[in-house]
Amino acid sequence: QKEVEQNSGPLSVPEGAIASLNCTYSDRVSQSFFWYRQYSGKSPELIMSIYSNGDKEDGRFTAQLNKASQYVSLLIRDSQPSDSATYLCAVTDNAGNMLTFGGGTRLMVKP
Amino acid sequence: SQTIHQWPATLVQPVGSPLSLECTVEGTSNPNLYWYRQAAGRGLQLLFYSVGIGQISSEVPQNLSASRPQDRQFILSSKKLLLSDSGFYLCAWSVGRAYGYTFGSGTRLTVV
């Protein structure tokens, strides 16, 4: 069974700090990796995608992928209270039709 | 641009009543479509997915069903709701592995 694991949190960081969110996955043939942000009561919103090993930066967000270790992470620099949300890691199968979601990590950024 | 519409936003239904939630996608053809449920404080549970008209795959046995009568329309139904059907129902679409899923705004269903 394909699994995507995340620490449920809450992860609490002070405003301006770097928040580091981690995710591990079990399926070695996974090809595409995504991070979603979900505010309370709202639907998930895609914020980052990454397909190859290394880092991908977009504004304050950096996604990191290590396929050998089956590990993907999301760094949020200069964290803001508005970043407080649940962050979901998602991984596709080799065919790309199905996403498997982790249970999410709740991030709290304190002013 | 592609958009996804999901309605209603909130719904309160008595136990034993029927359910019909509709999802439509605009601006794309032959999308893969998905229905998820999220219980309060929990993760996403895949209920159904469809890769084409009339093609439905069920991930979890339950009293819910799905239909795809048109290319960009996906419907979630139940003949008789249970209390355990309460939750946040999300429709999503995708067109390939590179793009992930795009979610609709969701329907919050409370069965009373």
SS3 label, residue A53? coil
Taking only residues 60 to 99 of chain B, the set having a beta carbon closer than 8 angstroms to any beta carbon of chain A reads 90, 94, 96-99
- Cβ-based neighbours of B93, under 8 Å, separated by 6 or more: B2, B4, B25, B28, B31, B32, B33, B34, B101, B102
Identify the residue among B101, B102, B108, B109 best suited for mutation to test binding to A, counting A beta carbons within 10 A and taking the highest. Answer: B101
pLDDT in tens, A30-81: 889 999 999 999 999 999 999 999 999 999 999 999 999 999 999 999 999 9
CA proximity to B82, closest of B6, B10, B2, B15: B15
Structure tokens given for A54: 């290394």
Cis peptide, bond prior to residue A44, ω within 30 of zero: no
pLDDT of residue A75: 98
Confidence of residue B5 (pLDDT cuts 50, 70, 90): very high
Mean pLDDT along residues A89-110: 88
The model's confidence at residue B100, banded by pLDDT at 50, 70 and 90, is confident
d(CA B68, CA B81): 21
Give the residue carrying structure tokens 């641009």: B1
**Residue B2 pLDDT:** 77
User: Using one digit for the tens of pLDDT, what is the confidence trace for B27-72?
Assistant: 888 899 999 999 888 889 999 999 999 999 988 867 999 999 999 9
CB A87 within 8 A of CB A36: yes
Residue from A53, A55, A59 nearest A77 by CA: A59
Q: Which residue has the higher pLDDT, B24 or B42?
A: B24
Contacts of B49 in chain A (CB under 8 A): 97-98
A16: closest CA of chain B, how far (Å): 27
Position B109 confidence tier, pLDDT thresholds 50, 70, 90: very high
Confidence of residue B21 (pLDDT cuts 50, 70, 90): very high
Q: What is the DSSP string of A60-79?
A: TEEEEEETTTTEEEEEESS-
Specify whether the CB–CB gap between B51 and A97 falls below 8 A.
yes
B12 and B18 in contact (C-beta within 8 Å)? Answer: no
Is the pLDDT assigned to residue A88 strictly greater than 90?
yes
Do residue B97 and residue A90 have CB atoms under 8 angstroms apart?
no
For residue A10, pLDDT beyond 90? yes
- Smallest Cβ–Cβ distance between B43 and the set A45, A49, A103 belongs to A103
| B5 vs A: CB within 8 A | no
- Identify which of B49, B59, B60, B55 has the alpha carbon closest to the alpha carbon of residue B90: B49
Provide mean pLDDT across the span A8-30: 94
Share of chain B above pLDDT 70, in %: 97
Amino acid at A58: D
- Angle (CA) B95 B96 B98, round 5°: 125
Long-range contacts (CB closer than 8 Å, 24 or more residues apart) made by B40-48:
B40/B87, B40/B88, B42/A103, B43/A88, B43/A101, B43/A102, B43/A103, B43/A104, B44/A44, B44/A88, B44/A101, B44/B90, B46/A98, B47/B76, B48/B76
What pLDDT was estimated at residue A92?
87
Q: What is the mean pLDDT of chain B?
A: 92
